[in-house]
Amino acid sequence: MTIKPMKGKDVSALRTRLSLTQLEFWKRVGMTQSAGCRYERGNRTLPKTTQMLITLAYSRNPMPFLNQLRKLADNRR
């Protein structure tokens, strides 16, 4: 599993599909509602680390992604 690059509109669509408020959605990934709002509006670029957190927080099965991260970490040692 790889991380599909996300744009603000993708995150907003995901949040809407999950029927979550901005506060609920962004709190789960450790961000404030106001920072998340800036990402959703496209005023800020969504960093890869934030994309990873969103993938982990909202994936139905995060294990393939976690295993991929473990392999990457092991290869860097």
Ranges of each domain in the chain? 8-75
Cβ-based neighbours of 14, under 8 Å, separated by 6 or more = 54, 58
CA–CA gap between residue 55 and residue 69 (Å, rounded): 12
What pLDDT does residue 62 have?
Answer: 82
Of 31-35, 54-58, 62-66, highest mean pLDDT: 31-35
- Given a cut of 80, whether residue 6 has pLDDT beyond it is yes
- Reported CATH class of domain 8-75: mainly alpha
Tokens of 46: 């969504």
Could you give the C-alpha distances from 77 to 13, 19, 38, 71, 74, in angstroms and in order? 38, 41, 36, 10, 5
CA–CA gap between residue 66 and residue 12 (Å, rounded): 24
- Given a cut of 90, whether residue 14 has pLDDT beyond it is yes
**What's the whole-number mean pLDDT along residues 38-63?**
87
What pLDDT does residue 75 have?
Answer: 81
